Structure 1
Amino acid sequence: MRQLRDLQIPLYQTQKIRLWRALQQLQELACKVTSSASVTIADTIPVNHEDGVLKGHGTSELDGEVVATLCGIVERVNKLVYVRALRARYKPEVGDVIVGRVTEVAPKRWRLEINFSQDAVLMLSSMNLPDGIQRQRTAVDELTMPSIFEENDVVCAEVHGFQHDGSLHLQARSQKYGKLERGQLLMVPPYLVKRRKQHFLSLVNRHKWYFHYLEKISIDLILGCNGFIWVGEHVEARDNMVEDQETKPEQQNSKLSGISMRLEEQERTYTPLETRQSICRIANAVRVLSSLGLGLNVEVIMETVELSISLNLDINEMLGAEFCVQTAEREVERRSLLSKKKG
C-alpha cells in the first residue's frame, strides 16, 4: 500500500506484516463506510458503461476500461467519475480556518505561507489592532506593523476570499485569531484535516487521561484546513472592552497595579515543563497519525496520546516503529467497533 511504501520508519519483517495487515483492514473498512476506493496509477475503476459514464480528472480509457492516472480517492457525481488526488496542495474555501507563517511585512499587509500555490495576504485593515478599537488605520498603525507580526511569526486567520488578481485574502477580526506562541507548528497533508464546525480545540479537563496524568495542564489545538496544525499552551481569549473595565485602576492604586501587571507578564513568558511535555506528546501523536495517512480529529489524536501513556512510553519512543504499528492496529479496533455499532 502507498502508506507503507511512503513510511520512513525502519520496520522489522514482522512489523511490516502487521502494519500491512492493519492498513489493508483500514482500507476495507473505509470502502464499506464511504463506498469510495483509493487507487494508484493504472488501477482499474469499476464503472457501469451502460449508464454513459463521464471520465473526469485523473481518469483515462485503456482497452475499454476506465483506469486511474494518479493516486487518490475515486469520487462519483451522478455519471461523472474522477479521482481526487491525495497529495495535492491545499485548495482554499471561504471561511476556512488556516494557520500560516509570515514571510513578508509589506506596506499595509502581511504575506503568509499557507501551503497554497501562492502566499496569502492579510491586510492591516482586515484584523483587530491590539487596542481593540474599531477605527480607520493610520500611517502610525502601518509603522507599527512589525510589532504586531514580524517575519516567521505563526499566525491563525480565516479565509476571506479571492481578489480579482487571484490573490487569496485572509482576515483576523476575532479574538481567537492572531499570533500563536509557545507551541509547535506541524505540517501534514491537507487531505488529513477534514472541514468541521470546530477547528479550535481547547484541551482543558475534557479527556479522562487528564485526571491521572495532566490534571492541571491545558493545551490549545488548532487544526488548520491547509494542513498546518498548531499545538501550544492554552491562551484565554478575552474581550478587550471587558478587560479594559476590569483592569482600569483607580488613581491611588496605579503604581501597585503596574507592578502586578509586570509580574503577570513575567509569568506568562514562562511555559512550565509539564506543559511543554504535553505539547510534545500531542505533537508526536499527530506525527504518527500523519505518517500512517490517518485522518486527524481530536478524538483520534487524544486516543493515540492515551495509548502512549497506557504503554508507559516516553515522548521520544512514540516515534518508534512498534508504536506506529500499535497505533494502526488500535485504529482498526476503533473503526471496527464503530461499524458494528452503526450496523
Structure 2
Amino acid sequence: MDAGASNIISRIVTPGTLITSDNAYMRGHGTFAEHESIYSSVAGAVERVNKLISVRPLKQRYGGEIGDIVVGRITEVSSKRWRVDVNARQDGVLLLSSIILPGGIQRRKSESDELQMRSFFAEGDLVYAEVQSYFADGALSLHTRSVQYGKLRNGTMVAVFPQLVPRSRTHLHRLPCGVDVVLGVNGYIWISKHVSAAKVEANAEHMYSDQNELISDEERETIARVANCIRLLNRMYVKITETSINFAYESSLPHAVKDLLKTDIAQELADSVKAQLLQQA
C-alpha cells in the first residue's frame, strides 16, 4: 500500500512492495522507480534521510570501514600474515608487522618472530582487532597494535546481523553484571569474564596465552545469560548496544537462562527492551 511521510520509516518490506507514490522523494539503495512510484528491490527496513528513501537489507555481509572494531577467527597462518574470518565477502588479513609483541614491545619483526607465528595466533583463535586499511583486492587489513586488542579468551562468541551493531566510540564494555562484551561491528560479539588490563600488561606472556582463567559457575551462568539476551535481541531485530543488552539482562532475571530463547519469552523481553529504549529517548 502507499505510504505517506509519517509512516515511510521503520517499515519492513519485501521485494516489489510499493513504498511511496509521492514524486517529492528520491530513490536510494535497495529501491527502484516505476511509473513515478518507488518500490523495494530487497527485503528489509525502509529508511529515509530527508527526501532520500532506501531499504536496508535484513541480511547482508559486513562491509568494512577504516577504524571499525571487529572480532574475527583465524582461519589460516601463512607467510608473515594470518587470514581472519570477519564475516565479510572475503577474509581479512592481519600482517605480522601489524601486531604488538608480548610485553607491549613495538619493533621490527624478525625471522625469529615469523618462525613462532603460531605462538601468537593459531588457526581457530579469536582476535579483537581494528580495520586499518584495504588491500588492492578489497580485503580488509587489520591491526592489533594496542594492548586492548589481541587474543580473546575466557568467554563465548555470538554471531548477529552486522547491521544491528551500530558504530560508536567504544566497543568494549564492562556490563554491570560483571562481564565484558566486545561489540564487533562485523556482527561477531564476544562475551567473557572480566580481566583487568593492568593484569594483562603486568604479565607479558598473558597476552598470547591459550589458557583460560578460572571461571566460576556463577560467572558461566552470567556469560550464558548475556549471550542468550544478545541472541534474542538479534532474533527480534533490536539494535544491539550496551544499553539494550543491559535492559534485556535485567528483564531476563525472572527467567531461567535456557528459557530465554523460547518464542513467547523472547518476544516479551524484546518488547520490554523496545519500550525502555523509547522511554529513554
Question: Contact 1:175/1:238 (CA < 8 Å) preserved in 2?
Answer: no
Matching residue within 234, 243, 247 for 2:202: 243
Question: Contact 2:11/2:45 (CA < 8 Å) preserved in 1?
Answer: yes
Partner of 1:322: 264
CA distance in 2 between counterparts of 1:137 and 1:152 reads: 23
Partner of 2:3: none
Change (3 A) 1:94 1:273: same
Q: Return the structure number with greater relative CO, CA threshold 8 A, min gap 6.
A: 1
Partner of 2:232: 288
Higher strand share goes to which structure? 2
**How many residue pairs are counted as aligned between the two chains?**
272
Partner of 1:160: 132
Identity of aligned residues (%): 37
Residue 202 of structure 2 aligns with an amino acid whose one-letter code is E
What SS does the corresponding residue of 1:171 show, helix, strand or coil?
Answer: strand
Instruction: Give the alignment's Cα RMSD to 1 decimal.
Output: 2.6
Q: Give 1:166 deviation, angstroms.
A: 2.1
Higher helix share goes to which structure? 1
Residue 271 of structure 1 aligns with an amino acid whose one-letter code is I
Q: Give 1:54 deviation, angstroms.
A: 4.1
Q: TM-score, normalised by structure 1?
A: 0.73
What SS does the corresponding residue of 1:230 show, helix, strand or coil?
Answer: strand
Matched, 1:307 2:251: yes
For each residue in 1:77-128, what CA deviation from the matched residue of structure 2 results, as whole angstroms up to 9, or x when unmatched? 5654332223111111111100000000111111100000000000111110
What SS does the corresponding residue of 1:327 show, helix, strand or coil?
Answer: helix
Question: Contact 2:9/2:47 (CA < 8 Å) preserved in 1?
Answer: no
Partner of 1:151: 123
Matched, 1:123 2:95: yes
Change (3 A) 1:63 1:105: same
Q: Could you list the runs of 5+ residues in structure 2 that have no partner in the other structure?
A: 1-5
Residue 61 of structure 1 aligns with an amino acid whose one-letter code is A
Matched, 1:182 2:154: yes
Q: TM-score, normalised by structure 2?
A: 0.88
CA distance in 2 between counterparts of 1:157 and 1:236 reads: 18
Matching residue within 200, 214, 217 for 1:270: 214
Residue 38 of structure 1 aligns with an amino acid whose one-letter code is I
Q: Give 1:173 deviation, angstroms.
A: 0.7
Matching residue within 12, 16, 20 for 1:46: 20
Indicate the larger mover: 318-327 or 120-129.
Answer: 318-327
Matched, 1:104 2:94: no
CA distance in 2 between counterparts of 1:146 and 1:303 reads: 40
Question: Contact 2:229/2:260 (CA < 8 Å) preserved in 1?
Answer: yes
Indicate the larger mover: 191-200 or 34-43.
Answer: 34-43
Question: Contact 2:9/2:46 (CA < 8 Å) preserved in 1?
Answer: no
Q: Give 1:197 deviation, angstroms.
A: 1.0
What SS does the corresponding residue of 1:271 show, helix, strand or coil?
Answer: coil
CA distance in 2 between counterparts of 1:189 and 1:221 reads: 16
CA distance in 2 between counterparts of 1:149 and 1:321 reads: 39
